[in-house]
C-alpha cells in the first residue's frame, strides 16, 4: 500500500507506505551504496540514487477504496531520492573535506532545481538521518530528498509565522532571529562569513542547532559560489563539534528549510536555514518525546540552551583545533 491520507484535525496529509516495512537492515559487509555493489557506479564522488522503497513515487498506485466524504485519500505522488555523500562506507559528513562537502551542496542544489521543474511538486525537503538512535537502517553515510505534492505542516506553520511577522513589521522573521542571537552571543556556536550557527532561544532539543544564512536568501539555488563554499565549511565545523562533544558519533536529524516550489512567491519573508534535531541529552541518554510533547506539541527542553550552547561551542573549537593541529 502507498497512498496519502488526509488528517482533517491537522489539515495535513499522512504518507501511508506499508511496503517500507520490507526495507532491509543491511549487514556491514554487504552495502548497496559501496562501489562494486552493482547498484551504484564503480567510481563516484557524490551520487543521487532513487530510493528503492519510496514513500512517494512518480507513478503511484491507485489508493485503496477507503475514502469517504470526511476521509480523503490521494495518490502518493512525488519523488524520494538518496544522496550518497561519499563512496567511503564510513566517511560521515564531519569526516569529509570541505571541498568534498561542497560537492554534496552542489548535488543538493542540482536536485532541488531539477525536482522544482515538475509543477506537481510543491515542496522539496532535503534531510539527513544519522545514527541508529533515529532509525537509520543503511549505515553508509547518506542523506535524502523528498519532493512532496503539498507543503508539510511544520514548514507551512513556519511560512505562516514568517508571513505574519513580515506583514506586521516589514522584516523577515529569520533575519530578526539571527540578529537577536548575534546580539546576545550567548547561544551562538559559530559565525563564518556568510552563515551563523546557534542553538536558538526556543529550541526543544538540548543541542538543537540552527545554521542560517546571514543574507536574506530563500534557497540553495540563490546562493553564490562563495556562499556554497562557506555552507560546506560551517556544516563540517558544526557536525564535527557535535562528534567531539561526547567523543562519539553524534546522532541527529538535519533538515534544510527553504522556499516552497511551484506556488506563491515566499522569498520576501522566508529565509534559508538548517535545523538539527539531535536526540542526545548526554553521552548515553536520549531525550524521548513524552505524552505532552507528542500529544499536545508542548515541547519541554530538559536543559538550558545557554549551557548546552556553551558546551557545543567549546566542542566545535576543539574539533577545529584538532583538524588544524592546534
CATH code of the domain in which 234 resides: 3.30.428.10
CA dihedral 7→111→113→74, nearest 10 degrees, is: -20
Is residue 233 situated within a structural domain?
yes
What's residue 142's pLDDT? 97
In a domain, 301, yes or no: yes
Please give the pLDDT value at position 1: 72
Over 70: is that where the pLDDT of 22 sits? no
159 falls within a domain: yes
Q: Is residue 22 part of a domain?
A: no
What is residue 25's predicted lDDT score, i.e. its pLDDT?
57
* Tens digits of residue pLDDT in 181-199: 999 999 999 999 999 999 9
Inside any domain, residue 65: yes
**Positions marked catalytic:** 142
User: Would the pLDDT of 325 be above 50?
Assistant: no
Task: Specify the range with the lowest mean pLDDT, choosing from 239-243, 275-279, 289-293.
Answer: 289-293
Label residue 23 by pLDDT band (50, 70, 90). Answer: low
Is residue 228 in a domain? Answer: yes
Give the whole-angstrom CA distance, residue 107 versus residue 126.
11
Quote the pLDDT of residue 31.
Answer: 94
Residue 48: C-alpha distances to residues 88, 92, 260 (Å) = 15, 16, 21
Q: Are strands 285-286 and 252-257 parallel, antiparallel or unpaired?
A: unpaired
State yes or no: pLDDT of 48 exceeds 60.
Answer: yes
Mean pLDDT of 64-92: 96
29: which 3 cell numbers? Answer: 559487509
If you average pLDDT over residues 151-173, what whole number do you get?
A: 98
Question: Residue 315: is it exposed, middle or buried by C-beta count within 10 angstroms (0-12/13-18/19+)?
Answer: buried
Q: What is the pLDDT, as a whole number, of residue 232?
A: 98
Structural domains in the chain (count): 1
For residue 303, the enclosing domain spans 2-17+27-324
The pTM of this model reads 0.95
In a domain, 167, yes or no: yes
Average pLDDT of the residues of the chain: 94
Q: pLDDT digit string (tens) for 221-248?
A: 999 999 999 999 999 999 999 999 999 9
Amino acid at each position: 500500500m502507498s497512498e496519502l491520507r488526509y488528517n482533517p484535525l491537522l489539515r495535513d496529509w499522512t504518507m501511508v507506505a506499508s511496503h517500507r516495512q520490507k526495507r532491509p537492515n543491511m549487514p556491514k559487509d554487504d552495502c548497496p551504496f559501496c562501489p562494486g555493489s552493482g547498484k551504484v557506479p564503480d567510481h563516484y564522488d557524490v551520487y543521487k540514487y532513487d530510493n528503492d522503497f519510496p514513500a512517494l513515487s512518480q507513478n503511484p498506485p491507485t489508493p485503496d477504496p477507503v475514502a469517504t466524504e470526511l476521509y480523503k485519500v490521494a495518490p502518493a505522488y512525488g519523488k524520494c531520492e538518496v544522496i550518497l555523500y561519499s563512496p567511503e562506507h564510513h566517511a560521515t559528513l564531519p569526516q569529509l573535506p570541505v571541498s568534498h562537502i561542497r560537492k554534496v551542496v552542489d548535488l543538493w542544489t542540482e536536485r532541488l532545481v531539477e525536482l522544482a521543474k515538475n509543477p506537481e511538486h510543491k515542496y522539496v525537503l532535503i534531510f539527513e538521518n544519522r545514527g541508529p538512535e533515529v532509525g537509520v537502517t543503511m549505515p553508509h553515510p547518506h542523506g535524502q530528498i523528498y519532493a512532496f505534492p503539498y507543503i508539510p505542516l511544520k514548514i507551512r506553520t513556519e511560512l505562516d509565522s514568517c508571513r505574519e511577522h513580515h506583514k506586521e513589521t516589514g522584516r523577515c522573521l529569520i533575519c530578526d532571529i539571527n540578529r537577536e542571537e548575534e546580539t546576545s552571543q550567548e547561544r551562538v556556536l559559530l559565525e563564518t562569513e556568510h552563515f551563523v550557527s546557534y542553538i536558538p532561544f526556543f529550541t526543544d532539543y538540548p543541542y538543537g542547532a540552527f545554521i542560517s544564512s546571514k543574507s536574506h536568501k530563500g534557497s540553495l539555488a540563490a546562493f553564490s559560489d562563495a556562499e556554497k563554499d562557506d555552507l560546506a565549511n560551517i556544516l563540517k565545523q558544526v557536525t564535527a563539534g557535535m562528534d567531539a562533544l561526547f567523543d562519539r558519533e553524534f546522532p541527529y536529524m538535519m533538515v534544510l528549510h527553504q522556499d516552497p516550489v511551484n506556488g506563491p512567491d515566499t522569498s520576501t519573508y522566508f529565509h534559508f536555514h538548517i535545523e538539527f534535531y539531535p536526540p542526545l541529552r548526554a553521552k548515553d541518554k536520549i531525550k524521548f518525546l513524552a505524552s505532552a510533547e507528542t500529544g499536545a506539541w508542548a515541547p519541554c527542553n530538559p536543559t538550558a540552551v545557554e549551557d548546552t550552547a556553551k558546551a557545543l561551542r567549546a566542542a566545535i573549537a576543539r574539533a577545529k583545533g584538532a583538524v588544524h593541529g592546534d
